A and B are shown apart, each in its own frame.
Chain A
Amino acid sequence: MTESVFRETTAEPRTQSVPLAHLSVELGHLYMEDFEAGPERLRAHFTEVRPWVEAARAAATARAGGKRARVSTCFLIDDYFTRFSTPAEVVPTLLAEAERAGLTIDYLARESGCAVTGKIPVAESVAARIVESPPPGSHGLRPPAAQTGWLANGERSPVARAPQAMKRAVGWQPPHETAARRHSVFLDVELWSDDDGDRTWSCPFLAAVWQLARLGLLRNEGEAVLTPQPHTATAGFPDRWDDLPTLLKLNDRADPFAAYRTCSVLPTRFLPVEHAVRVILDQIEVDPGALAQVADRSGKERTAVPDSVADRISYVYYAGL
């Protein structure tokens, strides 16, 4: 077909592309209690993480067919649920302990950036992209009674009602996981809570947003969201968390932040949260333009990327801590 002579840019969708690595490795999350436990806790964590990071890197190289795989590392600090200390105090300790274990943190992110970055309500936008998995029998009517602020991997138990006169009470009915293999592992995730008009996003929901950011799949009106800001060594770190960019590039020579796949090395206690992350990611319709860019570029590089977004993320859980 011959192209039309006339074009109108406001009439056409556009999607900004982001640079992509092969793998984004998350070296950990830092919560207040971890920090309060002192630098020994961080040291122990990074010592546990180190061999798995090397394994993840080796696996990425193998997947890239022996060529150099682009791998970037990142670390997430919680400044959303609790505010503690200052960047000036926390970040240098963190970097020193990572270095002592032989690890380099390429990118540092603040968890509150997954809720709001600049003026962009990132979490809210992602929540609006949830397309609930339809239980069998969904034929086009609105999805059955979505429980506001909750997302499940199947059908909930019917609500028990007080028995009416002359009617017998209906017995308990089990919930059902839609993708169950014979037996269900039913999970119902709280996405947020509202407190006097203030919405607090749940840890699994922000973690799902964090995964989308690492997969290069977040957009706002077609523009990339959570783009890394460079850090100049001379500038030091600020005294207020809000003065720290939501995503900071600490290593000049780092491979791109976003990647085809992600791997997170975490203590086992994060397992329930990360199960919830999978349930959420499995029901988010990500920006089709961003998805197409990843498919296009991985195709040109002959790198296989799983279809499903939830299958692009992986974990290593280590015991203890």
Chain B
Amino acid sequence: MAPRQSTPRTALSCGEVRTSLLPARQALDIRSAAGLLALRADERVLLSERPGLYARSPATLTGVDCPLPSANGARVRAVGTVTAHAALTEGRVLQTSAHCSLPATGPDQRRPWGEYLVRPGVVEPLGKLPHEAVARGVLDGPRRGDLDVGLIADGLLTRLLRHPLLDQRPPFRSRPTRLRWAALPAAPGEGPSLERFTLAEDELRTVRLRVPEDTAAADLAALCNDLALHDWLLTNVVRMLDGIRLGAPSAEDPGAAVRALRPAVDHLLHLWMPGARVTRELAALWGPLEERPGFTRQWQAMVQRIRDQLTLHTVQAVHREAEPAP
């Protein structure tokens, strides 16, 4: 067999991210986070304290040999490994993410397995990759039996959620989200762009990107983790505000709103840092989302609402105390 080029041209990268609240009463400190994410004894968990506590597990590989999802029904078989890792932000938000890159062409036959293992995170098609159709197929969701990187992210999440460090007592009810992404090559000379960010049903988000060919899949995965984290924050704080009846006669239960909003203050409001762990080129993709719908604008409006509500309740409480009993 002819020797392979060391870096085959990537025609498509895709992945899926699961974001959820860590089911533990207390947020994990950095040491416990390292314990939770130590998926391998011989590899360090990467720990970062600026601009916030962040821990990332070593990558794990899963071997796949199956058809790729595609929008036009083409059943292209592909073989290789999908990379998965987990990350914990401020000891509170757990993310698992799986991704792979696919070169434009591959061999006619499956290679010896060891040749795939020296290119972790690459899934090679047998023959030509219909990358546009496969990108649509990935974002529409795979059919049964097709490559499903979401299953791999799920598998890792399930494994982590059973960890003895977790007491399974989350401080508030939350909703996990899924973010599915696909990145196609940008036109020559063009920079990266975010083509579409879609909020679908069932807490599913899809992201379609165009990126220069030399963009590392790991950097793309970091961008998508960042998008997923902030989308999860918005989703869950919106839900929290939804759940309380603002302006309802406070005499019924004056503490209800405070109880409902407090977890946001305790656990979530300090997590908003879009683009903090994304390469400079890719962080620019936050731009269009900030313009419309304006992720940070919505976040700040909600933060303000929460603070106003809490202030109102404080004022009312003081007022009630000051009122002479009838």
Q: Which residues of A contact B147 (CB under 8 A)?
A: 139-140
CA of A132 to CA of B113 in the docked complex: distance in angstroms? 9
Contact A308-B63, Cβ < 8 Å, known A128-B40, A285-B117: no
Interchain Cβ contacts under 8 Å between A and B, 10 examples: A121-B41, A134-B65, A138-B64, A139-B145, A141-B151, A219-B42, A221-B43, A288-B120, A291-B118, A310-B112
> A140-B98, A285-B81 given. 10 additional CB < 8 A pairs?
A11-B48, A133-B63, A139-B67, A140-B82, A140-B152, A141-B151, A179-B110, A221-B42, A288-B120, A311-B114
Once the chains are docked, how many angstroms separate the CA of A74 from the CA of B149?
44
Classify chain B's interface size.
35 or more
A284 in contact with B117 given A1-B279, A140-B148 (CB within 8 Å) = yes
Is B50 in contact with chain A by the CB < 8 A criterion? yes
Q: Complex: how many Å from CA A178 to CA B114?
A: 12
Binding site for B on A (CB under 8 A): 1-2, 6, 8, 10-13, 120-121, 124-125, 128-129, 131-143, 178-179, 219-222, 281-288, 291, 295, 304, 307-311
Query: B113 contacts A285, CB within 8 Å?
Result: no
Q: Kindly provide the distance from the CB of A121 to the nearest chain B CB, expressed in whole angstroms.
A: 7
What is the bound-complex CA distance between A311 and B79, given in angstroms?
A: 19
B117 near A140 with CB under 8 A, answer: no
The answer for the CA separation of A8 and B48 in the assembled complex, in Å, is 7
| CB–CB B40/A309 < 8 A | no
User: Known contacts A8-B49, A125-B42, A139-B151; is A309 also within 8 Å of B118 by CB?
Assistant: yes
- List chain B residues, Cβ under 8 A from A219: 42
- Which of A128, A291, A307 contacts B42 (CB under 8 A)? A128
The answer on a CB contact under 8 Å between A12 and B148 is: no
Partner of B64, one of A128, A140, A284: A140
Contact for A13 among B44, B64, B142, CB less than 8 A: B44
Instruction: Mark each residue of chain B from 114 to 127: 1 if its CB lies under 8 Å from any CB of chain A, else 0.
Output: 11011010000000
- Please name the residue on chain B nearest to A3 by beta carbon: B280
Residue of A nearest to B154 (CB): A140
Tell me which of B65, B114, B152 contacts A281 (CB under 8 A).
B114
**Complex-state Cα separation, A37 to B148, whole angstroms:** 58
Q: Is B46 an interface residue (CB 8 A)?
A: yes
Within 161-196 of B, Cβ neighbours of A (below 8 Å) are at: none
Measured between beta carbons, the chain A residues less than 8 angstroms from B98 are 140
Whether B81 lies near A131 (C-beta < 8 A) is: yes
Judge whether B48 and A10 touch: CB under 8 Å: yes
Once A129-B40, A310-B112 are accepted as A-B contacts, the answer to whether A283 and B66 lie under 8 Å apart by CB is: no
List the B side residues contacting A307 at CB < 8 Å: 3-4, 114-115, 118
Say what secondary structure dominates the interface of chain A.
Answer: loop
A132-B63, A140-B82 known; A283 vs B47 contact (CB < 8 Å): no
Cα–Cα, bound, A284→B116 (Å): 11
Which residues of B are in contact with A by a Cβ distance under 8 Å?
A: 3-4, 6, 40-44, 46-50, 54, 61-67, 77, 79, 81-82, 98, 110, 112-115, 117-118, 120, 142, 145-152, 155, 279-281
Q: Report if A138-B65 is in contact (Cβ < 8 Å); known contacts: A8-B49, A219-B42.
A: yes
**Considering the chains assembled together, what is the distance between the CA atoms of A135 and B110 in angstroms?**
11
Nearest-CB distance from A244 to chain B (Å)? 24
With A and B bound together, what is the CA distance between A40 and B66 in angstroms?
56
CB proximity of A56 to chain B, nearest CB, Å:
22
Q: Which residue of B lies closest to A225 (CB)?
A: B42
Write the nearest CB–CB distance from B108 to chain A, whole angstroms: 14
Knowing A10-B47, A12-B46, A131-B62 are in contact, say whether A139-B114 is a contact too (CB < 8 A): no
Closest to A283 in B: B113
Choose one: B54, B64, B67, B281; the contact of A134 (CB below 8 Å). B64
B47 and chain A: residue at smallest CB distance: A10
* A125 adjacent to B41 (CB under 8 Å): yes
Knowing A13-B44, A179-B112, A285-B117 touch, does A1 contact B65 (C-beta < 8 A)?
no
